[in-house]
Structure 1
Amino acid sequence: MADGSQFVRVVPSPAAEDSSPNTGDLVQFTTGIYYVEEDEEFLTVDIMRLGSLRGTVTVDFYTEDGSAKAGKQYHKASGQVEFKDREYRQSIQIQTVSSPLWSPTLEFKIHLVNPTGCSVGMHLSSCRVKVIDADPFPSSKYSDLLLQGEEGVKKIRRICLLWEYWKLCILQVPGIGRRTCATLILDEFRNAKRLTILLLQVYMVDVVFNTTDPEAEAQLIGSSRQESAIVVGVLLAAPMLLVHIAALIKAKMDLKGHLHLFLQRSLFRKYLNYSEESRSSVPPALMQSAITRESEEAATSFGKVLDLVAILCQLVIFAYFTIMENPTAMIFILAMPCSMLLYFTLVSLCRGERDQWKEIEDQMLFLVDEVCHRYRLVADYFQRPQMNEEFQKTSGDLRREMVPDHLRDANDNMFPKWLGPFFMGLYVSIEAGRVLDGSLSLGTFLATVGIMKDISEEFEEGYAIILELTQFYYSVVDLTVFFNKPTDLRTWKAVNRQRRDESPLSCAFGRTQA
């Protein structure tokens, strides 16, 4: 290729094949699939010429996005390759983009177009490039443990594994970062509604319905108490419109759906690249469950974290209102989360491990799987009664082993519900005197009681979310194990490179344009 050659925008044009004298030679890629690891600086792709090899021929090439995107996994490239007389092989180089984040095995394509003096091969005019990511799922922070399988993954603290997974969701999954920010903003509409209702409740009691205080008359919104009550009624309902709009926008964004889709596609792509050993270690039923149920639960866990953030913001609003309107009540407000923390710290130290029934559940699932796959053998040897008895025994053991966890969950669920009535009763008993002597307005007193009730409900909802995250953790563990199983990509890459090294190379290289 001459040094003074100019690169132009490559546009596939079938008509170009007929506009120049054709030597009868074919130009095509040497293989249909190339492999490259993302931490390699570039990939060398070979193009071969078949035929008489007489004269000079040229062909253009360009890259096309697939699941791999230009700028993220590789640098877009296009250019022209020239074969001089007797040259039968040329090479082009495609630069890769290294990233510290995990990603599934992604692909892009390279096309040969606009041949001059030759024709493009029918079957190898395009090739696919598989970009291999060496990072473990969900990050490289605990790579040694992540590559040890399920036992290694379970040695990682739960919150640490979930945190790395949630970071991956924001930083790697397309569009999730923007949708997360939008969701956090839209969730504040609900908090704004709560604050508005609190202020209006105080206003109704202390101003609108306070007929004994002459100064309250001057604070009316309308010309009369009736008109002010109508305005307050409208303002009580108006925030709900914003909350409704926010819910519709969140449903349209479908954050959970996009994340679920990413996990499904990534896991399916990973399974297709499994080595034989990895594929044989994962029964089809487990993979089906991972792609449907566990990927959905892992996606749901991310949304639950955003719900927790919204609850924390709500608690901040309650604390701010209390400080501004009734500072002496802060001791009751702060006592509620402290009680929650003390309770769960004590029970976590005193209780043993939960989910002891998991092993029995695995035995039951194994039994069902064996019967389903070997039914004809069971039936022919008259083993159906024995299988029924074994299933009844195992399922009964499973139910009995789950009872202690059910009792534990019942107590844990009831504790947040006790907080509201207990501290409300305590606050009413202690602070009622201040209302009677006029040092605390009735509206602020009732609003503070309402805040305690709302805080109790928020703690109850937050604890329920934490319990769900505890269950979703196991789905993240399973996905982590599946994503980190060995593939045969490096084996095929080695074969691809060895085949190239064993064949003669021409010295000239095609030039690329990024």
Structure 2
Amino acid sequence: MATYRQGRDAQVQYSYSALRPVMASSVETPTAPVSARVQRRLTREETRQSRDMVQFISKSFYTTEEENAVIRVVRIGALHGECSVNWRSEDGSAHKGEKYQAGAGTLVFGPGESVRSFEVQIINDDFFDSNLEFQVVLSDAVNCIIDPAGARSDVMIHDDDMFPSNEWEEVLKKEDEAKLYAIGWGVLWAFIVFCYRHVREIWWKSNLVLLLSMLGNAYYLATIFIRVYLVDTVLDTSHPESSSRLLFPGDPYLTAAALGAAWILPNFILLAADYFQMAVLEMGFNIRYYLRVNLFRKYLHYTAQSRAKVPVQDLKISMMDDIPELVEEGYLILFELWAMLGKIACIAYFMLRKHPESGIPLLVYPLIMAIFLKCTYSKRLDLMAKEGEGQSNTTGAVMNLNTSRRVIQMYGTQSPAVRNFEDILRQQRALTMELKRFQFWNSQLIPWITLLAIGTYMGMSTRVVLTGATSLGSFLATVNVYKDLGDRFSTILKGFTALSKSISPLCGIILQLNYETEKGSYDNFKMREAFALAWMRHMPEGANMDDIPLAFTDATVTHSPSMNTRNKAFHTEARQGSIIQIAGPHDSGKMTLLQLVVGHLIPSSGQVLVSPHLEILYVPHEPLFVQASGIFCNLHMISTLEELKHVDSERGLRILHRLCLDKSWIKEMYESEAESLRAAAAEQPAEAPDPFGCFAPEEQEGEEEAIEDNDEDWTDRLSSSEQWRFQLARAFVANPHVLAINRPVQELDDDMRQTVLSCIQDFVQNRGLELQDDFDITQRRPRTVIFTTGTDVRIGIANYVWRLGETGIVVEKPQVTQTPALPALPAQPTFPPTQLRLSPLPKQSPFGF
């Protein structure tokens, strides 16, 4: 039993297996156990009558590898008496024991206490991972209710390590591909070590494959001696001693049969070993899986600048071409090289044992190969880079056709577009042929060396055989060994060439995995959490987190016409549960104001402060859809069958009806898709197979699953107004605390405008649209809507109007209010601008954050 660090906000006792205690200076022990009264569970009716709700202070927490994750849980309501909840951690993309120390415990809220916290220890390692997350979950509430929307939270770990090794950090930060080529063999070795040590299951599989490959080499050496023995002993009847040296003296036929069995039978063992390697020791999937998932996750968290450096066609090429090539030729080929080196060692043993002078090629081959690889390294990578650029241009032209097709057809420019594509193909052809010519001449090196070596040996060794200095069997075996030696060194050269070629895709993937990701989410979360905690420490008695306002404190945005430094900085507060209209002319900064609230934009000065427990959703004016997904998945935004059990499909239909999206074909498609998904979920095994399991099936590279294409995309059957309303319906289904909507009614007719405004009004008044749960309105979190309109439009349901103009932003109340007044709330503490700033803060600030 141990105790977590206590802040002003919390006193926590927990049971935490496998967790090292945190610093002693930050640990306090609870002063009193949970009372027997708290242990009594409420009946269902008592629970419904209890107003206190417990949830995490944020849907997502952010931390780094250098600090422990501090998780805060809040209690919202009357705060009378004691209550408690249990918490536990669950694996996500971050695994316990690898990125964090797992645990569970109990949080006890005393009378009047609204915040409790606990820590989860983060494990700091030197291996790269894109931002990983695990979950914390609340359960087993006593004398309170757990808000289902806030019962689970993600903890995002920001990884500061470089891929593939921190050893090259200075070079990697320069983002210079040419400098990476200069140290290509070093970063390739770092990649190999990274795969061996960090990718799951690779280290022990690699060791077994290295051991099993020696079975084949032992068999190969045995076959050389079998051939010599067969010619010099079994088939040589001219020497009287031959009969006595037979395995079965005097019986060459039985000896030959034994040699045939010795040639055949070990292959059953080798076959079993090969199957074991294929079925159990296959490593390609594990490494491809790791690289693809991390690149996919990294891309989702890119900054705008990083995303501009990686066009979508480059991402596709990296995923489908570069990563498989890198895995095959940058790691798996090492085992083939190891096997070839073992065979060469067997050949060297035979040659040096019989006649050492024949081993000269053992020195010539490596020397020539080393010189060759050194001389061609730069040329090969340069040609590969040019060929890859040509492939990217071709792929980009095809992918851009999807977005530009309608414009091309509209303006009748199909023929110029085709001619441009032909030019791109011809340029790619020239680059590809230049690379092929280079590879053709390089491939002739080892065969010609082998040809010269065999011819020289045949011409010089015939006299040795005729004089009896060596046997005919040894001579023939040596000629065959020379050929095998050339083949083996040719394979080794191809392997090292492939290794050098893999440096090109490796350098590209290294850059993509090390581009900058958004750190704003971490900073924004810390700022908003500090704001909420400071507000709650100084709120009057009876207030809670539902009373924390949305606050702008002297906020400016340099590029915004209404919020730049020439105008007065924006400073205002708005209550949760409000409807806020942002009105202004075109290009006055309305969407900028929305982006500030959502957190997609950081003000040039000042701050935008929103409590982190509020889930905010931005709804752009342009309708967006998840491609290749149907109506049901687009409305409920589900991507896995596991999420289906949390979906209220009837509520989705009700919201579609409210927004006049209940046409028969829409309902039929919606219900059909829902039924298909439920059937698929019923057939799915209880636990999905582990993708890193020993017998996980290998995916086929280069083969793409066939997708049935409908004659017409369902989104094309929706009008522009229907597409927009569908997007709004999706936002209502998501049920966030704050909806930031860009121009929801500006292009609708009067009837449809009233329909949309009625939904917005009900969403705010009922704290959710078309909800049918066990909670009354007072137990739900307030809902706030912020939307933009033109200058002359006045929306009667709005509680606040932020009017933008050339001289700044004016906050006003509408002349006509169609909504009931906001419920009376406790007086809110007023934050003067100098006290609301989080950095820097005056030392005498009473808020202490």
Percent of residue pairs bearing the same amino acid type: 23
- 1:359 to partner: Cα distance: 5.2
What is the alpha-carbon distance in structure 1 between the residues aligned to residue 497 and residue 379 of structure 2?
18
> Could you give the per-residue CA deviations for residues 261-298 of structure 1, whole angstroms, max 9, x where no partner exists?
11121122222222334334433332223222222222
1:453 aligns with 2:483: yes
Cα displacement string for residues 301-326 of structure 1 (whole angstroms, at most 9, x for unaligned residues): 21112211221222122112222232
Q: 180, 183, 199: which one pairs with 1:157? A: 183
Which one of the candidate residues 171, 174, 177 is aligned to 1:145? Answer: 171
The partner residue of 2:499 within 459, 465, 469 is 469
Per-residue CA deviation, residues 225-264 of structure 1 (Å, 9 max, x unaligned), is: 0000001011112232222222211211321112111112
- Give, in whole Å, the separation in 1 of the partners of 2:433 and 2:415: 28
Q: Are the equivalent residues in 1 in contact too, given 2:12–2:117 (CA < 8 A)?
A: no
Structure 1 match to 2:307: 279
AA paired with 1:34? F
Write out aligned runs for 1:55-134 (5 A): 55-134=81-160
1:502 and 2:542 correspond: no
- What is aligned with 2:578? none
Give the TM-score taking structure 1 as reference length. Answer: 0.88
Distance 1:96 1:152 in 2: 36
The residue aligned with 2:284 is 256
TM-superposed CA distance for 1:73, in Å, is 0.4
2:267 pairs with 1:237: no
Aligned match of 1:310 in 335, 339, 344?
A: 339
* Alpha-carbon distance in structure 2 between the residues aligned to 1:104 and 1:327: 54
> 1:30, CA displacement in angstroms?
0.5
| 8 A contact 1:145–1:153 mirrored in 2 | yes
Whether contact under 8 Å (2:181, 2:504) holds in the other structure is no
Superposed counterparts of 1:384-403, under 5 Å: 384-403=414-433
Would you say 1:338 and 2:364 are equivalent positions? Answer: no
Match in the other structure for 1:292 = 320
2 CA distance for matches of 1:235 and 1:181?
A: 28
Maintained 8 Å contact 2:12/2:116:
no
Q: What displacement does 1:477 show?
A: 2.1
Question: CA-to-partner distance for each residue in 1:370-421, whole Å, 9 max, x for gaps?
Answer: 5554234444444333344444344334434444433332221112112222
Conserved 8 A contact 1:153-1:481? no
Picking from 442, 450, 457, the partner of 1:420 is 450
Deviation at 1:127, TM superposition (A): 1.2
Aligned length: 501
Q: Summarize the Cα distance change of 1:393–1:216 in structure 2 as closer, same or farther, 3 Å threshold.
A: same
Aligned to 1:510: none
Once the two structures are superposed, what CA deviation does each residue of 1:342-379 show, in whole Å capped at 9, x if it has no partner?
45556669999534555555555555555554234444
C-alpha distance in 2 between matches for 1:122 and 1:352:
55
Q: CA–CA distance in 2 between the matches of 1:86 and 1:2?
A: 25
The amino acid across from 1:45 in the alignment is I
Higher helix share: 1
* 1:228 corresponding residue in structure 2: 255
Match status 1:177 vs 2:203 = yes
Could you tell me which of 128, 136, 148 is aligned with 2:162? 136
Pairing of 1:178-193 with structure 2 (within 5 A): 178-193=204-219
1:42-88: per-residue Cα shift (whole Å, max 9, x none)?
11111111222122222222111122111110111222222122111
Q: Is the 8 A contact 1:311 1:462 kept in 2?
A: yes
Deviates more, 1:395-404 or 1:128-137: 395-404
Offset at residue 101 of structure 1 (A): 0.9
Mean alpha-carbon deviation: is it higher for 141-150 or for 385-394? Answer: 385-394
Task: Go from structure 1 to structure 2 and tell me whether the alpha carbon gap of 1:140 and 1:500 turns closer, same or farther (over 3 Å shift).
Answer: same
Partner residue of 1:511? none
Aligned to 2:555: none
Distance, in Å, in 1 between the alignment partners of 2:278 and 2:186 is 29
Mapped partners of 1:436, 1:486: distance in 2: 73
Name which of structure 1's ranges 323-332 and 262-271 shifts more when overlaid on structure 2: 323-332
Mean Cα displacement is larger for which, 407-416 or 449-458? 407-416
Helix, strand or coil for the counterpart of 2:493? Answer: helix
**1:271 to 1:347, Cα distance in 2 relative to 1, 3 A:** closer
- In 1, Cα distance between equivalents of 2:409 and 2:151: 55
The structure-2 alpha-carbon separation of the partners of 1:291 and 1:85, relative to structure 1 and needing over 3 Å to count, comes to same
Aligned to 1:149, the other structure's residue is in SS state coil
Letter in 1 for 2:354: E
For residues 150 and 267 of structure 1, what CA distance do their matches in structure 2 show? 19
Q: 2: CA distance between counterparts of 1:298 and 1:186?
A: 23
**Equivalent-residue separation in structure 2 for 1:222 and 1:161 (angstroms):** 57
Match of 1:430 among 445, 460, 463: 460
- Give, in whole Å, the separation in 1 of the partners of 2:436 and 2:461: 38
Shift of 1:453: 0.6
Distance 1:363 1:444 in 2: 57
Q: Which deviates more from structure 2 when the two are superposed, residues 336-345 or residues 91-100?
A: 336-345
- Is 1:202 aligned to residue 228 of structure 2? yes
SS of the residue corresponding to residue 503 of structure 1 reads helix
| Amino acid aligned to 1:249 | F
> Partners of 1:402 and 1:6 in 2: how far apart?
66
Contact kept in structure 1, 2:2 and 2:14, CA below 8 Å: no
| Cα distance change, pair 346–83 in 1 and its aligned pair in 2 (3 A) | closer
Letter aligned with residue 99 of structure 1: D
1:512 — aligned with what? none
Q: Which has the higher contact order (CA 8 A, sep 6+)?
A: 1
Q: Identify the match of residue 243 of structure 2 among 191, 208, 217.
A: 217
CA–CA distance in structure 2, aligned partners of residues 289 and 164 of structure 1: 23
- The verdict on how the C-alpha distance between 1:72 and 1:435 changes in structure 2, with shifts beyond 3 A counting, is same
Relative to structure 1, the CA distance from residue 407 to residue 135 in structure 2 (aligned partners, 3 Å threshold; closer, same or farther) is same
1:492 — aligned with what?
Answer: 521
Contact 1:150-1:477 at 8 Å conserved across structures: no
Q: Retained in 2: the 8 A contact 1:145–1:156?
A: no
Q: 1:402, 1:285 → 2: CA distance?
A: 18
Larger radius of gyration: 2
Contact kept? 1:154, 1:477, Cα under 8 Å: yes
The CA distance in 2 between the partners of 1:189 and 1:370, in whole Å, is 52
TM-superposition CA deviations, 1:150-189 (whole Å, max 9, x none): 5366354221221111111111110011111111122222
Cα distance in 2 for residues equivalent to 1:68 and 1:158: 30
* Corresponding residue SS for 1:138: coil
Answer whether contact 1:150 1:478 (CA < 8 A) is retained. no
1:58/1:83 contact within 8 Å kept: yes
TM-score, normalised relative to structure 2: 0.55
- Contact kept? 2:181, 2:503, Cα under 8 Å: no
Written as runs of structure 1 = structure 2, the 5 A alignment for 1:19-38 is 24-38=51-65
**In 2, Cα distance between equivalents of 1:498 and 1:110:** 21
- 1:431-462 CA distances to partner (integer Å, 9 max, x unpaired)? 22222222222222222222111111112222
Question: Which stretch has the larger CA shift, 52-61 or 160-169?
Answer: 52-61
* Residues 61 and 78 in structure 1, CA contact (< 8 A), matched pair in contact too: yes
Q: 1:328 to 1:379 in 2, by over 3 A?
A: same
Q: Partner of 1:174: helix, strand, or coil?
A: coil
